[in-house]
Homo-oligomer: A and B are copies of this chain.
Amino acid sequence: MSSLDKLIKYFETFPGIGARQARRFAFHILTMKKEDVSEFSTLISSLQDTVVECQSCRRFFAQNGHQNLCRICSDETRDHTKLLIVERDSDIQSIERSGVYEGLYFVLGGTVPLLDSIEAKNLRGGSLKRTITERLSADLSEVILGFSINPDGENTARFIESVIADIPEAKSLTVSHLGRGLSTGSELEYADPETIKSALQNRH
């Protein structure tokens, strides 16, 4: 396999990229300036050294010095009684943009698919257990499960509940789920029964 084909194979493993676009990416690099290719390649090879996983919430952050905690986890003014568990780093960005959550996060690193119980092994269940145990000895009082409203998200919520049930110190911990209802843009006519039910129950 030529080095061009090898490179294309790598791009094919990128999220959402098929054979044709992977090939376009390689051709794109062929048309880049020599110095840009050099900087781009260096940024890639050094990425795992400069961007590290936060030791508390497990999200990636650009390390600036030798800190082990990300900006949010090391912020003393955040509400340390709340821990919101999400699937991906990008979920945190969406929530921070909404500006209404002041607590801490934990990035699980994926979901537990309904049809594939083995997947759970790749998730940070053990790490979550340690983080919750540590934070309980401080002042953690509520864990919020922030997963998508679909079968995998619901299965993941059940998995987390079982992880928490295994922590003896977590007896008094409140475990809550994100509220359901009509989301922005929802039209009543096309809403499913479950959403309508929540919308009626959570009316205000």
Contact = CB atoms under 8 A, between A and B. Distances in A.
A37 to B, nearest CB: 6
Q: In the assembly, how many copies of this chain are there?
A: 4
Interface residues of A, number: 89
B97 A193 contact: yes
Contacts of A15: 21, 24-25, 28
Contacts of A14: 24-25, 28
Counting chain B CB atoms within 10 Å of each CB, which of A20, A41, A86 scores highest? A41
A178 interface: yes
Interface of A: 2-7, 10, 13-16, 20-21, 23-30, 34, 36-48, 50-51, 60, 62, 64, 86-91, 93-95, 97-101, 144, 146-150, 176-204
Given A94-B196, A148-B185, 11 more contacts: A4-B47, A26-B51, A30-B60, A86-B188, A97-B193, A101-B196, A149-B183, A176-B204, A178-B202, A179-B202, A179-B203
